[in-house]
């Protein structure tokens, strides 16, 4: 079993069974809220891919899935420093959008994508975030569906990475 990444020790924060239960609850809430809607779920790559894959299997309505990929460079607190790598493949005009992200840290990533989506006039827009770091943010981001509130420490696993490693870990760990 992986116990460290790049020489940094991993301390268990959230076990996979706990994640599974929470993801199932979120899926049920989303199912209830979007009855009779044609939901378009947008995952932010790469971090959200495992969360999204589990979440959509707990959503019991017809949905469409698409992905958007961004990268932040130098200082991700500045909106201009987030770059679109792969754009959406569908039109979002008049659609009910649920944006899914692994982790909310400073909010720059979600802010950038939210602005982009809202400028294309969706019918509705909500956010779903698995991990929400407790901190003062530069960007005011409303989280409509939240998995866990966590301390402001670097985490890895269940899709989130440390320098691209650790995404495959079933549990979520804090890096020592
Ligand atoms: P934000 O733009 O500051 O909210 O940061 C969001 C992105 O930074 C997330 O989508 C993650 O990919 C990455 N990130 C921020 N904090 C962590 C962390 O603790 N572990 C892994 N990735 C993180
Ligand atoms: Mg990410």
Q: Quote the pLDDT of residue 79.
A: 52
CATH number at residue 25: 3.40.50.2020
Q: Are strands 4-5 and 8-14 parallel, antiparallel or unpaired?
A: antiparallel
Identify the bridge partners of residue 143 per DSSP, sorted by sequence position: none
* Cβ atoms of 147 and 23 closer than 8 Å: yes
Per-residue pLDDT averaged across 8-33, rounded?
98
Give mean pLDDT, residues 18-37. Answer: 97
Residue 122 lies in a domain: yes
The answer to whether the CB of 103 is under 6 A from ligand 1 is yes
Residues 2-20: pLDDT tens digits? 889 989 999 999 999 999 9
In a domain, 7, yes or no: no
**Diameter over CA atoms, the chain:** 50
Within a domain: 84: yes
Does residue 6 sit within a domain? no
Range of the domain at 65: 18-150
Query: What mean pLDDT is predicted for residues 28-56?
Result: 97
Q: Are 171 and 158 in contact (CB under 8 A)?
A: yes
Catalytically active residues, by annotation: 105
1 assigned to some structural domain: no
Residue 8 lies in a domain: no
- What is the CA(96)–ligand 1 centre distance, in A? 25
Instruction: Choose among 109, 166, 103, 171: nearest CA to 138.
Output: 109
ω into 134 cis (within 30 of 0): no
Task: Please tell me the total count of domains within the chain.
Answer: 1
Q: State percent of the chain over pLDDT 70.
A: 95
CA distance 117 to 160: 23
In this structure, is residue 156 part of a structural domain?
no
Residue 77: is its pLDDT beyond 70? no
The pLDDT, as a whole number, for residue 137 is 87
Instruction: Verify whether ligand 1 is closer than 6 Å to residue 155 (CB atom).
Output: yes
């Amino acid at each position: 079993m992986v116990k460290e990444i790049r020489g940094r020790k991993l301390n268990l924060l959230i076990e996979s069974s706990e994640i599974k239960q929470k993801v199932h609850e979120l899926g049920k809430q989303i199912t209830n809220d979007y009855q009779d809607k044609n939901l378009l779920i947008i995952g932010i790559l790469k971090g959200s891919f495992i969360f999204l894959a589990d979440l959509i299997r707990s959503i019991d309505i017809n949905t469409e899935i698409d992905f958007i990929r961004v990268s932040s460079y130098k200082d991700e607190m500045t909106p201009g420093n987030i770059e679109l790598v792969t754009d959406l493949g569908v039109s979002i005009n008049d659609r009910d959008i649920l944006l899914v992200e692994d982790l909310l840290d400073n909010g720059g990533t979600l802010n950038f994508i939210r602005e982009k989506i809202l400028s294309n006039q969706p019918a509705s827009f909500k956010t779903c975030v698995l991990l929400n770091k407790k901190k003062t943010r530069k960007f005011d981001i409303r989280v409509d569906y939240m998995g866990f509130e966590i301390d402001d420490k670097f985490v890895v696993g269940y899709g989130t990475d440390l320098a691209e490693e650790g995404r495959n870990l079933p549990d979520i760990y804090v890096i020592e």
